[in-house]
Amino acid sequence: MMKEEKQIGELFGLRQNEIANIVGVSQGLWSMHAIGRRLLPTRAYLRLAKMILFEEQQKNNPPAVRQLQPEERKHWEDKLNLNQITQHNIMKKLREHQEKYEPARKGLELLAFVTDESQAADFVADEMEKRRKDKFFPVVKARLEGVIERNSLHLQEQYELKLQVLQFEEKCLKEKLSF
């Protein structure tokens, strides 16, 4: 009988004392019924039967799609707006990193080309210019490497991943609001 009571409690989502109150018996009598020591009064059995019948009908007829309450709708709309703002900010940051990374990468390639031994004669006219460029090129190279490091592909990938998560969340929020 205890299993039956537990099943009834799970079926209705109620505690033992709540079921006892609804069927109109004391908690002690319900407990005795649950362990098989006492029978319920007829009136209590009828109420219990109606509750079980109602629950069975609910299983067969799923509830209609419920409409969101105004405060619930506002909550989800606010969450959607915040999501869209966050998406915009992340897209902006991603674009900024991409715009800084690409020119720095091209600059490093050009610097490697200019400092290549086979091209040095075309870009250095005399020994004075060579010494000046020997001091200048490492500074430029360090600056470009710093830009690349601060705007790395790894960082861009992290922003892209965050953006994808936010886009999926936006899709879920829109589905929630469409009900």
Domain that holds residue 48: 2-60
pTM: predicted TM-score of the whole model, two decimal places: 0.56
Q: How many domains does the chain have?
A: 2
Alpha-carbon distance of 164 to 159, in angstroms, equals 9
Does 55 share its domain with 109? Answer: no
Answer whether 51's CB lies under 8 Å from 12's CB: yes
Q: Which amino acid is at 37?
A: R
b (16+ CB within 10 A) / e for 84-95: eeebeebeeebe
Alpha-carbon distance of 56 to 59, in angstroms, equals 5
- The pLDDT of residue 1 is 47
3-state secondary structure of 40: coil
3-state secondary structure of 126: coil
Tokens 């390639």 locate to: 109
Does 8 share its domain with 48? Answer: yes
Q: Which of 43, 19, 44, 49 is nearest to 31 (CA)?
A: 19
Q: Which residues of the chain, if any, have pLDDT below 70? A: 1-7, 9, 62-66, 117-126, 128, 179
Does 132 share its domain with 170? Answer: yes
Does 86 share its domain with 153? Answer: yes
Give alpha helix (H) positions in 61-126: 70-115, 120-123
Q: Which amino acid is at 44?
A: A
Does 49 share its domain with 82? Answer: no
Does 48 share its domain with 92? Answer: no
Does some domain include residue 14?
Answer: yes
Alpha-carbon distance of 99 to 21, in angstroms, equals 69
Answer whether 29's CB lies under 8 Å from 40's CB: yes
Three-point CA angle 128, 130, 131, nearest 5°: 70
b (16+ CB within 10 A) / e for 12-28: beeeeeebbeebebeee
Does 108 share its domain with 130? Answer: yes
Does 12 share its domain with 96? Answer: no
CB atoms within 10 A of CB 42: 8
* Per-residue pLDDT reduced to its tens digit, 1-15: 445 545 676 777 778
